[in-house]
Amino acid sequence: MKRAVLLALACVLAGCRGKSEPAAEASGAPAPSDGPTVSVAVASLVRATLSDVLSSPGKTVALAQQKVRPPFAGTLTELDVSDGDHVARGAVLGTIVSRDSEAAVAGAREMLREAKTPSEREDGERAVALAERSLVRAEIRAPADGAVLSHAASRGDRISEDQEILTIADASSIVFVADVPQSDLGRIHRGQGASVELAGHPAALAASVHDVLPGANSADFTVPVRLDLRNVAAAPPIGLFGTARITVAEHRDAVVAPESALVRDDLTGRTRLALVENGRARWVEVTVGVHGPRGVEITRPPLAPGQTVVVSGQVGLPDGAAVVPRP
């Protein structure tokens, strides 16, 4: 009798378990072992065009330097500019007196000084007046718009016909020379678009790659690359440091994720993001490409625009955890 009661009780308990398990499965609720639901911020993958931009430091230089020389030998009687002054083409920079006419004035004045009789004095005065009227002067003018880089003569100096007086940096020849790492040289090509950010200039200047210049730097393994400035109202000063941003490639229709969606493991160097699928997080290891203002290109694995990714709250989030987007 006791054995029959125990068997009946066992059947009742087995029947209760058999009914409760299907009910839990039908409800669709996560099992208690899945843990609590995590509130996260999410965003969608988008398709966009990203530019691959190479940034390099550099400075402005003048390719052409105009040498100002006198038209003849003589004395520099006036010099009205100094180093750093900006000059306009054709502006008067100074005055020179020819050596021969200056010698004639000096000789006439010596003749007057040594006169002993009234007749000799009259002759000397006429000679001085004639020599001063015949004095040959010439104006020194700027050959181009630009800035005075240096001067090799000063007021009162006697100069020869081929002697340099001033050096002027031609404003029309000012370019930006960027120091590009040798490892990136294969990505640089003539005609690529660029922008140049200079200290003291509120807006970036439009530019384009002219060519790679000779003269690699063995100290930091960089190569000079010339960028021509475009549509510049006023040429910037030479020797001004700045940053060149060269567009070396353009990736169209790239699948882009927000920067905040990426989690990088500093130990392994791997990058992951958490996709949200059917209310659960699924971690995916990804390979990234170009970084842009709209986000980061995902090159592998192939993901689709519109897929939801976690952008906040994913640190420490287990794979497969139940998630709910924050309101």
For the stretch 283-302, pLDDT in tens is 999 999 888 878 899 999 99
Rounded to a whole number of angstroms, the CA Rg of the chain reads 41
Which of 264, 274, 176 lies closest to 227, judged by CA? 176
Q: Which CATH number describes the domain made up of 30-50+252-325?
A: 2.40.420.20
Q: Rounded distance, CA 308 to CA 210, Å? A: 43
Which of 11-15, 55-59, 165-169, 202-206 shows the highest mean pLDDT? 55-59
pLDDT surpasses 90 at 275:
yes
Token match 């880089």: residue?
A: 149
Q: Rounded to the nearest 10 degrees, what angle do helices 118-133 and 99-113 cross at?
A: 160
Give me 83's structure tokens: 């180093």
Q: Rounded distance, CA 317 to CA 310, Å? A: 10
Which ranges constitute the DSSP H helices of the chain? Answer: 2-27, 99-113, 118-133
Write down the domain spans for the chain. Answer: 30-50+252-325, 54-62+173-251, 70-164
Give the pLDDT confidence score for residue 6 in this predicted structure.
Answer: 41
Give the pLDDT confidence score for residue 129 in this predicted structure.
Answer: 78
Name which of 13-27, 185-199, 238-252 the model is least confident about. Answer: 13-27
Q: How many residues does the chain have?
A: 327
* Tens-place pLDDT, residues 101-145: 777 777 777 777 777 888 878 777 787 777 677 777 888 898 888
Give the pLDDT confidence score for residue 309 in this predicted structure.
Answer: 93
- Eight-class DSSP state of 105: H
pLDDT surpasses 50 at 3:
no
Q: Are 190 and 173 in contact (CB under 8 A)?
A: no
Same fold, 30-50+252-325 and 54-62+173-251: no
pLDDT surpasses 70 at 72:
yes
Q: Rounded distance, CA 319 to CA 280, Å? A: 8
pLDDT band for position 84 (cuts 50, 70, 90): confident
pLDDT surpasses 90 at 246:
yes
pTM of the model: 0.62
Give the pLDDT confidence score for residue 34 in this predicted structure.
Answer: 56
Q: Determine the residue type at 316.
A: G
Token match 């229709």: residue?
A: 253
Report the mean per-residue pLDDT for the chain: 82
- The CATH architecture that domain 54-62+173-251 belongs to is Beta Barrel (2.40)
pLDDT band for position 18 (cuts 50, 70, 90): very low
Q: Are 232 and 211 in contact (CB under 8 A)?
A: no
Cis peptide before 305 (omega within 30 of 0): no
Q: Is 138 helix (H, G, I), strand (E, B) or coil?
A: strand
Q: Rounded distance, CA 210 to CA 217, Å? A: 19
Q: Rounded distance, CA 206 to CA 230, Å? A: 5
Q: Span 31-51, mean pLDDT?
A: 80
Q: Are 245 and 54 in contact (CB under 8 A)?
A: yes
Q: Rounded distance, CA 310 to CA 95, Å? A: 75
DSSP notation for 151-176? ES--TT-EE-TT---EEEEEGGGEEE
Facing residues of 27 across strands?
none
Q: Which CATH number describes the domain made up of 70-164?
A: 2.40.50.100
